[in-house]
Amino acid sequence: MSATFIPIVAGHAEGVDAAAPVTPKNVPHHGGPANPSAQALMEKFGSAVHRVDVVWGETTVIVERARVNEIVRWLHDEPSQQYDFCADVTAVEFRDLELPIEVVWHLRSLPYRRFLRLKALIPKGQPLAVPSVWDIHKSVDWMERECYDMFGITFTGHPDLRRILMWEQYKEGFPLRKDFPLRGRFSRSEQLRQALSQNPEAKYSMQELSIADAFEDLPRDMRQRLSAGEKVGE
């Protein structure tokens, strides 16, 4: 008996109503059809959706920052949406000091082949804090830490929010903020002095520290965290 093969196209079996992907052409700069998820969000969350923009065929939805976790959870769990992959978390600060800082999430629905950009706006002068979505997308662990490290944005609910690119004792601020000097806040000689004063052994894991005998050189809060068993957001 010969085997029966069912052709699969872009992850969908034959008979499922799913068009083969094509390269879009003549995409307008502004306007054009929005991702259908934008309309679904407006119907579900009402005034929590502040604006919908379509630029070069990509849909951006500006949402109320206090409800970011709730919105991302619905997009992830709702069968008609299934945004099962968070590709990036970042932020944007403009030179115009009157414009708010934007926190940005890039979400993809692999089953529906959709891309959606969420934004939450933080007006200048307000606390730089948004809800974490780590409990929904574990992939954002290091992304949220990087955004915190570079912009100073706190992701409320993240299990291990600390610097990831700069060392934990870095004192010059947040390098991607617009008010950060190109040469840093300290002189080159002071930057060199701080770099040379760092104990490289203090960057190792608890097991390596027991070998390197550098545990006592760590700041008190780091010693307490390591002694309790370091959590890595998994």
Q: For residue range 178-211, what is the model confidence (pLDDT) as tens digits?
A: 988 877 767 777 777 777 777 665 555 555 455 4
pLDDT of 201 reads 57
Q: Which of 120, 141, 138, 140 is nearest to 130 (CA)?
A: 120
- Rounded mean pLDDT of 80-99? 95
Evaluate if residue 78 carries a pLDDT over 80. Answer: yes
Mean pLDDT, the chain, rounded, equals 84
pLDDT band at 232 (very low <50, low <70, confident <90, very high): low
Query: Comparing 32-41, 118-127, 170-179, 197-206, which segment has the lowest mean pLDDT?
Result: 197-206
Question: Which H helix or E strand runs over 142?
Answer: helix 141-151
124 or 1, greater pLDDT: 124
SS3 54: strand
Evaluate if residue 59 carries a pLDDT over 50. Answer: yes
pLDDT of 215 reads 67
| Identity of residue 181 | P
Domain boundaries, the chain: 26-165
Look up tokens 């070998």; give the residue: 211
* CATH superfamily of domain region 26-165: NADH:ubiquinone oxidoreductase Nqo5 subunit (3.30.460.80)
- Rounded mean pLDDT of 67-77? 98
- Rounded mean pLDDT of 83-110? 96
pLDDT band at 224 (very low <50, low <70, confident <90, very high): confident
Query: Comparing 26-35, 171-180, 211-220, which segment has the lowest mean pLDDT?
Result: 211-220
- Rounded mean pLDDT of 141-167? 95
pLDDT band at 17 (very low <50, low <70, confident <90, very high): low
CB 18 within 8 A of CB 12: yes
Evaluate if residue 82 carries a pLDDT over 90. Answer: yes
Tell me the C-alpha distance between 157 and 166, whole Å.
Answer: 21
Give, to the nearest 10 degrees, the angle between helix 36-45 and helix 68-77: 120
Evaluate if residue 23 carries a pLDDT over 80. Answer: no
- Evaluated on CA atoms 143, 149, 150, 152, the torsion sign reads positive
pLDDT band at 108 (very low <50, low <70, confident <90, very high): very high
Provide the b/e sequence for 42-61 (b: ≥16 CB within 10 Å): eebbeebbeebebeebebbb
Query: Comparing 64-68, 153-157, 162-166, which segment has the lowest mean pLDDT?
Result: 162-166
pLDDT of 221 reads 79
